[in-house]
Structure 1
Amino acid sequence: MSYRRLGTTGVVLPEISLGLWQNFGDDGPADRHRTIITHAFDRGVTHFDLANNYGVPAGSAESNFGAVLRRDLRRYRNELVITSKAGYRMWPGPYGEWGSRKYLTASLDESLTRLGVDYVDIFYSHRPDPHTPLEETMGALADLVHRGKALYVGVSNYDAAQTAQAIALLKELRVPLAVHQPRYSMLDRGPEEGLLDVLDGNGVGCVCYSPLAQGLLTNRYLTGTPAGSRMSRGDTLNPDTLSPALLTTLRGLDRLAHERGQTLAQTALSWALRDARVTSLIIGASSVAQFDDSLDALCGPSFTEEELAGIDQLLADVAGTEI
């Protein structure tokens, strides 16, 4: 495993991290959860990304990770970076989502109970709250650090201007913003439009989610929409997304990947890591074999200028596609 420093903090993260958004809820077998998590750790993955609402039902991913932690990884707690987030809807009523001090504090308390730990290494505001002053949200994050419930804090899904404001507010509170977690992939290059520069200029790490665009940048959709996939269910991927133009682009990227001696997924991960401003990529997995295939991206060759230009040309045909 290769590691990169998280901004200007004293922490390094693996270039590939395990995310538990999908496949780690109570709708999946506990033995599979345990096998993937422990295998990832054996491969050098020390960073496990969670949120209060991950899993089916919401919260079950944290509970299931906590069970593996108690059974297998407790003695390695000091070698792990465990994260959680709060921002999306978690419970009924007016205090069960967004960015109020009340919600963030209560949510982290519940996450710590589910995980069975005294603190998380990173706690995120999962999304900006249009109704709560950012001063309150950042003040709550800083307070959780001061109380020892989180070692570092981050934000996710904030735009460049919101991030710059969060950095300034936390600096006044003497709790620096350690990390931003944006969505970033070949098919979603939004962070390149100012956000990565803000992070780099302020010493903030960048941990990217959905670098495989929820599976679009794998071989799964090269022949259409398979039965049982996220797109076929229409839950987190719109069935209309796989247009003829996007299918043509994906097939072109797949050919380029094979010319590099990689799978499409490996090339997509290698491409995201080409930028030194990116600290780590969060990937999910439904099997050990799938996870290992992704880790092999770290062994791939560097990109040539011709390959990068070819990728840009293929992506230009689907620029603006909503993923």
Structure 2
Amino acid sequence: MAYQPSKERYASMKYNRAGKSGLKLPALSLGLWHNFGGIDTLENARSMIHRSFDLGITHFDLANNYGPPPGSAEETFGQVLKQDLAAYRDELIISTKAGYYMWEGPYGEWGSKKYLVSSLDQSLKRMGLDYVDIFYHHRPDPDTPLEETMAALDLIVRQGKALYVGISNYQADQAAEAIRILKELGTPMLIHQPVYSMFNRWVEDALLDVLEENGVGSIAFSPLAQGMLTNRYLDGIPSDSRASRGHFLKETDVTEQRIAKVRKLNEIAQERGQTMVQLALAWVLRGGRVTSALIGASRVSQIEENVAALNNLDFTAEELERIEAILKD
């Protein structure tokens, strides 16, 4: 049976303007970093993409190396797009990135114009697209001049292969310089994608200020600290968890000190009528400084739980003080 999106898909999702641009993003965006690769079940991936769109999530975030194997998340998304969502392309924000290792030889990673243009061409083929809405440089390149990397982003927009451009994983000073160069080239930066969560607050030191001063949006990845800010590890490390597999969240990250903090935070969540996940997402979005939070999922029910966080985004001063005391303890 052909997929028919919900007629209520825009009824309750919150949309935030990305900096001083004309683009609005859903407060929660779906990241396809995990669970959408060639080793994963296509039907489960399709169900999660469908449910996300039904709930008003219009932004789907990919990268050239997402999988595994690298490239396969884009292929999966391309299949679902072709079969189910092609008629709704103009309602979707599709982003991809390049910066990490993708193919052999000197042109298969980092930030050269050669690599970025080639990588996006490959990504467009995998997804069956003429253009992406946002194209990111995925990480700073210590060797390529920033002027070359930003000129590549400018070129890609002028070629019509991306509508907007952004950066990811850049420090505050690097971001400020990238913003300046792009502004001079005439292609303003739309957005920055940093890691940000209750357990990783580096963006608060200077980066968020730089973005606000320059009218650039922000989208936080890993807002749940790779699953630490959930109820998953309150009673130890489950055998099927990310920490047990040791990819990005290591067993050594799941310390008793952190678990104790999550237990205390979870008490606040329960008082607010939320799960720990919902509290962590609401906290990242507090105050309107972050445009969107990137959620990951392995099943539809997780997406539904995440979106329900938007039912209670307001914090009292006392709640924020209690959270701050727990995090700084």
Shorter-chain TM range is: over 0.9
Residue among 48, 58, 62 paired with 1:36? 48
The equivalent residue for 2:96 is 84
Per the TM alignment, residue 222 of structure 1 is displaced from its structure 2 partner at its CA by 1.1
The equivalent residue for 2:274 is 262
Per the TM alignment, residue 11 of structure 1 is displaced from its structure 2 partner at its CA by 0.7
Counterpart of 1:83 in 2: which secondary structure?
strand
Q: Give the 5 Å matches for 1:124-273.
A: 124-273=136-285
Instruction: Give the TM-score normalised by the residue count of structure 1.
Output: 0.97
- Cα gap change, 1:98/1:286 in structure 2, threshold over 3 Å: closer, same or farther? same
1:103 counterpart letter in structure 2: Y
- Cα gap change, 1:301/1:124 in structure 2, threshold over 3 Å: closer, same or farther? closer
Per the TM alignment, residue 275 of structure 1 is displaced from its structure 2 partner at its CA by 2.6
Cα distance in 1, alignment partners of residues 287 and 105 from structure 2: 42
- List per-residue Cα deviations over 1:256-299 (Å, max 9, x = no partner): 11111100000000101113121001101111111100000000
Cα distance in 1, alignment partners of residues 281 and 247 from structure 2: 24
Please list every run of 5 or more consecutive structure 1 residues that lacks an aligned counterpart in the other structure. 318-323
Cα distance in 2, alignment partners of residues 52 and 300 from structure 1: 34
The equivalent residue for 1:71 is 83
Counterpart of 1:151 in 2: which secondary structure?
strand
CA contact (8 A) 2:286 2:313 kept: no
Please list every run of 5 or more consecutive structure 2 residues that lacks an aligned counterpart in the other structure. 1-12
Per the TM alignment, residue 301 of structure 1 is displaced from its structure 2 partner at its CA by 5.2
1:223 counterpart letter in structure 2: D
Cα distance in 1, alignment partners of residues 248 and 173 from structure 2: 27
Instruction: Give the TM-score normalised by the residue count of structure 2.
Output: 0.95
- List per-residue Cα deviations over 1:140-189 (Å, max 9, x = no partner): 00000000000000000000000000011001100001100000111111
The equivalent residue for 1:321 is none
Deviates more, 1:50-59 or 1:229-238: 229-238
Cα distance in 2, alignment partners of residues 185 and 18 from structure 1: 16
Cα distance in 1, alignment partners of residues 151 and 228 from structure 2: 38
- List per-residue Cα deviations over 1:21-75 (Å, max 9, x = no partner): 0000011111111111011111111000000000110000000000000000001
1:86 counterpart letter in structure 2: A
The equivalent residue for 1:5 is 17
CA contact (8 A) 1:260 1:301 kept: no
Cα distance in 2, alignment partners of residues 39 and 233 from structure 1: 27
Cα distance in 2, alignment partners of residues 233 and 92 from structure 1: 27
Give RMSD over aligned pairs.
Answer: 0.7
CA contact (8 A) 2:283 2:313 kept: no
The equivalent residue for 2:66 is 54
Per the TM alignment, residue 6 of structure 1 is displaced from its structure 2 partner at its CA by 0.8
The equivalent residue for 1:96 is 108
- Aligned pair count reads 317
Is 2:127 the counterpart of 1:115?
A: yes
Cα distance in 2, alignment partners of residues 115 and 219 from structure 1: 35
Per the TM alignment, residue 233 of structure 1 is displaced from its structure 2 partner at its CA by 1.3
CA contact (8 A) 2:285 2:313 kept: no
Is 2:275 the counterpart of 1:293?
A: no
User: Segments of 4+ in structure 1 off by > 4 A?
Assistant: none
Cα distance in 2, alignment partners of residues 144 and 54 from structure 1: 21
